[in-house]
Amino acid sequence: MHTRLLSFLSDIERALATDDPNPDEGTWEATRTVNYTLGLARLVLGVRKTEGLQSRGSILLQSYQLADGTPCLKAALSWFGSEHNPVHAVFSKSETNWTSEARKIGAEWMAGPPAAAALAEIEKEIHEEAPAAASA
């Protein structure tokens, strides 16, 4: 199961590059760290622009076995400047599509931290209500 770490990170990187090939008119820059002995891997993501490298966040993977011996992969998502770090488990089953799971995790990371999404929704509601209140 530990050998899945690097390929899973590669699938996530491909998903990010496919979904957003020019983030903020820059290019993705990723650094991978893998420790097969501990079953840990990390993907640190940033965007390289003419001004330099802008840190975006990271995805930490942990590979382990459940009590019944079933392999599992856990992904912890983090964003630069955010305290929210959601964690997702991917269980190794015969029907598990690892590429699809990597795309889902990549898409969630691209969506940003949960608090930022909630804040954007609140701001949207405020801006929609403000013109109505002003005209009343």
Confidence (pLDDT) at 92: 84
pLDDT, tens only, 49-80: 888 888 899 999 999 888 988 888 999 999 98
pTM of the model: 0.77
Q: What is the DSSP string of 15-66?
A: HHHHH-SSGGGSEEEEEEEEETTTTEEEEEEEEEETTEEEEEEEEEEEEEE-
**Strand, coil or helix: 136:** coil
12 has pLDDT over 90:
yes
